[in-house]
Structure 1
């Protein structure tokens, strides 16, 4: 999963794994649970997710704290197959728990 664009308050992620409706919905639900998130939009046709958030509530330092979870999710997405779907969904859950914990 790559960050295709970023500036404080807006981040766009792209990856073929986001073409899977279940994974895209799980990521949306996980991210929306954070109080700073204003809106999440995903497009399974293009494999992208747009996240709009309040940068005062979610500073860049928080993303640095999440680097291990983001890296684990990235590794799973790099070589994604349907057989890894459960692992990807679990990694998204772990990311959400740390983000909201």
Structure 2
């Protein structure tokens, strides 16, 4: 829940903040507290940035108010599997193929340049497949 905390500033992330109802409840409750200077909620990232005057209000008070609306999240411990991260593989593959294709172009190795270019296009296809929901919006 609490991502970072320095005197006068808290960053909180919680899955419930993606819903307007929860975000509005947190905003209305914290806005009423004396000492809260700024409150920024982002439903897309499920986060809240709370700026406060540490001489007026304590971090523990803010945390307890947040706990009223944001129950403890249990992070599920997923067993590690041998599955591969398609996004990471596609990005690293594109980068490696692009670098190799550029080197082959400088060395005037046309066949190798074409081969790495085709590899780049393959990894680009994988990348677009992974991110197709965002691309096709």
TM-score, with length taken from structure 1: 0.62
Residue 55 (str. 1) matches residue 54 (str. 2): yes
Q: Relative contact order (alpha carbons < 8 A, sep ≥ 6): 1 or 2 greater?
A: 1
Aligned to 1:74: 71
Shift of 1:63: 5.4
Shift of 1:35: 1.1
Runs of 4 or more off by more than 2 Å in structure 1? 59-64, 69-75
Mapped contact 2:26–2:69 kept (Cα < 8 A) = no
How many residues matched?
75
Structure 1 residues 61-100: aligned runs within 5 Å: 62=61, 66=64, 70=67, 73-75=70-72, 77-78=73-74
Shift of 1:43: 0.4
Residue 41 (str. 1) matches residue 40 (str. 2): yes
Higher strand share: 1
Residue range with higher mean Cα deviation, 52-61 or 34-43: 52-61
**CA-based RMSD:** 2.7
SS of the equivalent of 2:16 reads helix
Alpha carbons of structure 1 residues 54 and 43: separation in structure 2 relative to 1, 3 Å:
same
Unaligned 5+ segments in structure 1 are: 80-101
